[in-house]
Chain A
Amino acid sequence: MNRSALLSLYRSLTRHRLYAALNIGGLAVGIAVFLVLGLYVRFETSYEKWLPDHDKLYVVEEYWNQPGSPANGYSTGTMGGLIDELREDFPGIVGTRMQVMDANVIRPGSATSEAFGYADPDFLDVVPLPMARGDGRRALRDPSAVLVDETTAGKYYSGVDPIGRTITLAVMGKAANYRIAGVFRDLPKATVQRFSIIARMPSPHPDAMWRHWGSERVMTWLRFDTPADAARLAGQLRGFVDRRGAKDLGDVTKQLSLPVTPVTDLHLQTPGRKLTMTTLGLVGLLTLLIAIVNYVNLATARAGLRAREVAMRKVLGADRGALVRQFLGEAVLTVALAALIGLILAELGLPLVNSAGGLSLVMPYGLVVPALIGLTLIVALIAGLYPAVLLSRFPAAAVLASARSPGGGRAGTRVREALVVFQFALAIAFTVGTTVLVAQTQHVRSTDLGFRRDGLVIVGSTADSALDKAQVASFLQEVRRLPGVRMVTTSDSTPGYSTGNSANVEVPGRSDSGPSLQWITVGPDFFPTFGFRLLAGRLPDAAHRLDDMRNAPKDSDPVNILVNRRAAGLLGFATPMAAVGRTVGNGAPRTIIGVVDDARFFSPRDPVNGTVYYYASGQAQFPRTTLRVEGDPRRMVEQLRAIWRRVAPQVPFSAKTATQDLQDYYKADERAARLFGIGAGLAVLIGCVGLWGLASFNTARRVKEVGIRKTLGASSADIVKLLVGQFLRPVLIANLLAWPLAFVAMRAWLAGFDDRIALSPLYFVGASLLALAIAVLTVLGQSLRASRAAPAWALRHD
């Protein structure tokens, strides 16, 4: 580009500041959205990639496919002894395991819960965690040594060297002293399995179910040099499961498989996560595309106005090549400016996005800057080439002789209209998407769960194995006396927390092993405390001996149960009433005394499990305590904490409201909805900016026509109708594209939820009306101004 071309660009930007701002600003915002959502996608796909040799590491998962079973799907937990059996059948296999659980760090007068991992002595040989201090491999061969992460080291040994210090840990209820032998680097956020303390796994392991097929105790890691090696083993595991599993699982073995999954794939395996990531990635990409379309649209529209400059340059000797170079050069400079502003916007917007999405994204400049340079060249080529070729083709003499500027004629207008259609189609689809996302996340927060979620406080720490029965009893006794506590109950599962217990229940007269049902053990007042709805039959009570499972010590002893509506259906009863009084379970007779409505204790994405409720009059084996309280539940938690400190100071206290416990299920979707909303909102904004720019350009082009029409008797209202109508047509056509797009996308997203809203036409109509309103408002101001211009002035204008 020569000096005059640069000057011409500078003048064009500064003389038409508004156009420049719209053009560059729109593209910058598009680039910023693309960058931020690109970082999000990068984060989501980076799980475990921080691990050295991550491409060689695999995890054996359990995949259950039992009709109607609560345990269906993938689980990273396998039975404890799986690696031993694998070694027996496949000599030479390289693998290890870790059992992660909560352990309490005990200090004088207090206890703190930490994520703790029991690992095989060779764990670090297979999974090479980066160490900060000490020799981790040697440490794991010593049963009295532990490794801690940097945060834990700093937390308990601030300002002193932690190596060699003693730490008291209560693991599975047993307290012991360990020597800190090393410090490993904090696990990055992009980690599926989190732990902050590692100790050598006891051998033999005390768990009676250690080699019981179907149990889930440890994460089993394998290491292969090539993906082909992994695939070879995976191909042999079907036979392995059939051969080994039958002793514990019988027929059910067929419904279990053991996929060998690359460790880097685990994170995105969670239902809905991949779809969310893909959707947000697409939003980023499409927002950038909208911004590029805008840029091209405005640039070509404006370019037409520079036809005279081009003609003069041609007359003065510029050839087509020189003109194409000039326009491409201008595009590169303008897009580079937009990219720079976009980078600044993205950096400024990151804290906002991080807080909205619960993320901690940082801008990796080493990656972003080269990517932006590439993006600049590509966008500039797309955006600059069309005007460059179009303009350089104008015949100079005709342009100079003509009073009007060529703007691509009807074809140019059609291209621009098509681009507006494209932009608005995406904007409308995004608006539908955002509305549906928000409506769904609101729905799961407020929907009827089958129990009353407000006013429930759940104390998880009464299930801590470090607690003795007397402590639990004394805590419960004091809690019942607190003013504001209406009811107290215990159960082994509560909202957001499951023991994962399930069993097949045989149905008399059916030859199969019966449906797999979740079972929950509940104490007195469980049903009224939660506010369950009894559909048929009665609730358990002390007057009926068989209601209490304490009176049925053997599995084969008959006992009364309650089931939920879904279990009644799975067991083959047409109505809840039909189930009452019936006995199921061949070897272990269970008589149904009542049917309660389905209560959703877990994710809105999963179907409510068919559930059997066993009643036990005393405390359940691992009783989690639930209180129905009056007043502010958070204040109640503080009162409970005070009691806990007196009764069990050596065990960490944990209590949450039911709403807080359920929060984890909603969090990811709410974050995604917020991120989507931000991205989609900005995309719509860019679309509007583009429409505004195009409308003002078109209106300016039509000033003469407005004059003619007014001279011929058109009123201001006629002119406004004409100009606004011109833009309504593409917006209306955009609906035709947007609706099916949004419908398919949102149906796919909602399909991930068992508890979901209906995809009402109102979302579509609403978004379209909104888009129409925005389009009208965007164009109206300029149309009004144009319509008010005196016709004599308009006719002189050219």
Chain B
Amino acid sequence: MIRLQNIQRRYVSDEVETTALHDIDLHVAEGEFLAIMGPSGCGKSTLLNTLGTVDRPTGGRYLFGDRDLAALDEKALAKFRGQTLGFVFQSFNLIDELTIEENVALGLAYRADAGNRRARVAAAMDKVGIAHRAHHFPHQLSGGQQQRAAIARAIVGDPKLILADEPTGNLDTANGEQVMNILSGLNAEGATIVMVTHSPSHADMAKRRIDMLDGRIVASAMRDI
């Protein structure tokens, strides 16, 4: 489904040039659950952002199916994200001024085919067990509940790919487990997931794991099933 070829990402600020990604080659198959691990600053999040098209590579090719995403302009990329991707962040990134229901509905706000909105939002909230908090504001919820709301937002549009950036990083063990169980469940239902994590046990719940160091993929391993 996804093919990255020689992907590079360089940041230039003032007189310092930093290379966050060195010639990354990566293939993600449909239905896969991929975990990316590595120490802080190794380029995990940059890779994830590149996959999510919220960061543009400075070199290489990014093929999604048979589409070359490098050829798309900003508007087309925005449409692509809205139609194809779901995001889960470490810090949840819910909008403080919107209720949980409104936050989840935001996942449909920028899609042309967003019919039956209320039912889809309700179903997504139901799936992650947050429906009873629909009319609360983010700050009224615990971290685990907020992250479940963020997952509901990510899946409400039925995305082809879910990108999760340390989804359990801000959660305690119990809430972390709960979130990982939801992600595993989604994968079992057919969702493709790429997740960045620091937690070996959570990485073990993925089907494949790659390790990064200094902007390069240094190891790749399939989970023993």
Q: Could you list which residues of chain A lie within 8 angstroms of chain B, going by C-beta atoms?
A: 403-404, 410, 413, 704-705, 707-718, 790-792, 795
CA distance A717 to B110 in the complex (A): 11
Measured CA separation A413–B89 after assembly (Å): 27
B106 A708 Cβ-Cβ under 8 A? yes
What chain B residues lie within 8 Å of A413 (beta carbons)?
Answer: 97
Distance, CA A704 to CA B107, complexed state (A): 16
Query: Are A711 and B87 neighbours in the complex by a CB distance under 8 Å?
Result: yes
A404 to B91, CA, bound (A): 11
User: For the complex, is B223 an interface residue (Cβ under 8 Å from A)?
Assistant: no
Chain B interface residues toward A at CB < 8 A? 49, 52, 54-56, 74-75, 78-83, 85, 87, 89, 91, 93-97, 106-107, 109-111, 153
**In contact, A792 and B82 (Cβ under 8 angstroms):** no
Closest to A402 in B: B139
Which chain A residue shows the least CB distance to B98?
A: A705
A716 vs B111: C-alpha distance when bound (angstroms): 14
Instruction: Tell me the minimal C-beta distance from A780 to chain B in angstroms.
Output: 18
Q: Which of A707, A718, A795 contacts B110 (CB 8 A)?
A: A718
Contact A710 B54 (CB under 8 A): yes
- Of A404, A711, A716, the residue contacting B74 (CB under 8 A) is A716
Q: State whether A710 touches B49 (Cβ < 8 A).
A: no
- Select one of B56, B75, B82, B91 contacting A712, CB under 8 A: B82
Query: A interface, by DSSP: helix, strand, loop or mixed?
Result: helix
Chain A residues with CB below 8 A from B75, complex form: 715-717
Shortest beta-carbon distance from A60 to chain B in Å: 69
- List A contacts of B55 (CB < 8 A): 790, 792
How near does chain B come to A446, taking the closest CB pair, in angstroms?
52
A790 CB to closest chain B CB, in angstroms?
Answer: 7
Partner of B95 from the list A410, A705, A710 (CB cut-off 8 Å) is A705
B91 touches A403 (CB 8 A): yes
Across the interface, name the chain A residue whose C-beta is closest to B91.
Answer: A403
- Please name 13 further chain A to chain B contacts, defined as beta carbons within 8 Å, in addition to the given A711-B93, A715-B75, A715-B78, sorted by A numbering: A404-B96, A413-B97, A708-B106, A710-B78, A711-B81, A712-B107, A713-B80, A713-B85, A713-B110, A715-B110, A790-B56, A791-B54, A795-B93
The contact sample of 21 A-B pairs, CB cut-off 8 A, is: A403-B91, A413-B97, A704-B93, A708-B94, A708-B106, A709-B106, A709-B109, A710-B81, A711-B81, A712-B87, A712-B106, A712-B110, A713-B78, A713-B81, A714-B82, A715-B110, A716-B75, A790-B55, A792-B49, A792-B54, A795-B54
Distance between Cα atoms of A712 and B97 in the complex (Å): 17
- Report the bound CA distance from A792 to B85 in whole Å: 15
Find chain A residues with CB under 8 A from B54 CB: 707, 710-711, 790-792, 795
Which residues of chain A come closer than 8 Å to B89, judged between CB atoms?
795
Contacts of A791 in B (CB 8 A): 54
A713 to B78 alpha-carbon distance, docked (Å): 4
**Is the Cβ of A713 less than 8 Å from the Cβ of B83?**
yes
Contact, CB under 8 Å: B78 / A714: yes
Ranked nearest first, the 10 interchain pairs of A and B with the lowest CB-CB distance are A713-B82, A713-B110, A791-B54, A792-B55, A715-B78, A713-B81, A792-B54, A792-B49, A714-B110, A708-B93
Chain B residues near A708 (CB-CB < 8 A): 93-95, 106
Residue among B54, B80, B106 facing the most chain A CB atoms (10 A cut-off): B54
List chain B residues, Cβ under 8 A from A707: 54, 93
C-alpha gap A717/B87 in the complex (Å): 21
CA distance A712 to B84 in the complex (A): 10
A790 to B85, CA, bound (A): 17
Inter-subunit contact A711/B109 (CB<8 Å) = no
> Which single residue of chain B is at the shortest CB-CB distance from A710?
B78
* Contact present for B81 and A712 (CB under 8 Å): yes
| Distance (whole angstroms) from the CB of A338 to the closest CB of chain B | 32
Query: How many Å lie between the Cα of A792 and that of B109 in the bound state?
Result: 20
Q: Which residues of A contact B74 (CB under 8 A)?
A: 715-716
List the A side residues contacting B83 at CB < 8 Å: 713
Q: How far is the CA of A404 from the CA of B139 in the complex (A)?
A: 11
- How far in angstroms is the closest Cβ of chain A from B171? 15
A713 in contact with B91 (CB, 8 Å) = no
Distance between Cα atoms of A710 and B53 in the complex (Å): 10
Across-interface contacts of B91 in A (CB, < 8 A): 403
Q: Which of A710, A712, A714, A790 has the most CB of B within 10 A?
A: A712
Report A113 CB to chain B, min CB distance, Å.
74
CB distance from B59 to the nearest CB of A (A): 17
Smallest CB separation, A364 vs chain B (Å): 50
Task: Tell me how far the C-beta of A402 lies from the nearest C-beta in chain B, rounded to whole angstroms.
Answer: 9
Q: How many Å lie between the Cα of A704 and that of B98 in the bound state? A: 14
Q: Are B52 and A711 in contact (CB under 8 A)?
A: yes
Q: CA–CA, A717 to B107, complex, Å?
A: 17
